[in-house]
Amino acid sequence: VEDVIEQADYLYGSGETEKLYRLLVQHKNSDDAELLWRLARSSRDLAQLGSTSAEEKRQLTYDSLEYAKKALEKNESNFAAHKWYGICLSDVGDYEGIKTKIGNAVIIKEHFQRAIELNPKDATTIHLIGIWCYSFAEMPWYQRKIAATLFATPPTSTFQEALRYFHMAEEADPNFYSKNLLFLGKTYLKLNNKKMALLWLSKAKEYPAQTEEDKQV
């Protein structure tokens, strides 16, 4: 298992998405949480590739949730299993409609918070809670109405709360992710602080683009 994980991390660092998936999918029946969450991440990364067909993307999205779920069953105290379960559950919501997406939101946040409890230094998870807060702060009225029918007290958030998480993520690991810089800028814009928005958007613009996502940012 250790050898496979070492090889997988090397391939992940080299951006070898397809090779990594082919390596890990052979171990989909493993009982090792470390392997399973990596397989969940790898399935999701493959789904995000432009060359992946819509049908394959859907299949991989559902597969990745299954792998993350299995990783959690094998080891509840694995922070990455919680993190990827939250991410994959959110992705599946894109196929199941807005009602399911909002319904799952509370579960997703709980898994992100559990991941942070287990590893307070993981900047990406802190960033993801920021995104969660941002999307609830920005939620349009018709989605709020759906949320009100699903929950006795619907989940809410503010741009101030989102900003706090984006800054916490930046403190945990400065300049770790182009999207965190972008969202710091966007959140300051929402709060009408153009000076701070410009500062962070400039940082996002100057970020050395390595991935497809960096280029989009």
What is the number of domains present in the chain? Answer: 1
In a domain, 197, yes or no: no
Residue 100 domain-assigned? Answer: yes
The reply to whether 139 falls in a domain is no
Give residue 54's domain range. 1-119
- Residue whose tokens read 């992946």: 52
How far is it, in rounded angstroms, from Cα 56 to Cα 97? 19
Instruction: Indicate whether 39 belongs to any domain.
Output: yes
Q: Could you give the CA distance from residue 203 to residue 208 in angstroms, rounded to a whole number? A: 10
Q: What is the pLDDT of residues 37-63, one digit of tens each?
A: 999 999 999 998 889 999 999 999 999
The rounded Cα 86 to chain-centroid distance in angstroms is: 7
Task: Report which DSSP code applies to 137.
Answer: H
**CATH code for position 56:** 1.25.40.10
Does residue 203 sit within a domain?
A: no
Residue 42 and residue 21 in contact, taking contact as beta carbons nearer than 8 Å: yes
Distance separating alpha carbons of residues 57 and 35, to the nearest angstrom: 21
* Structure confidence by residue, pLDDT tens digits, 115-167: 999 999 999 999 999 999 999 999 999 999 999 999 988 899 999 999 999 99
- pTM metric for this prediction: 0.91
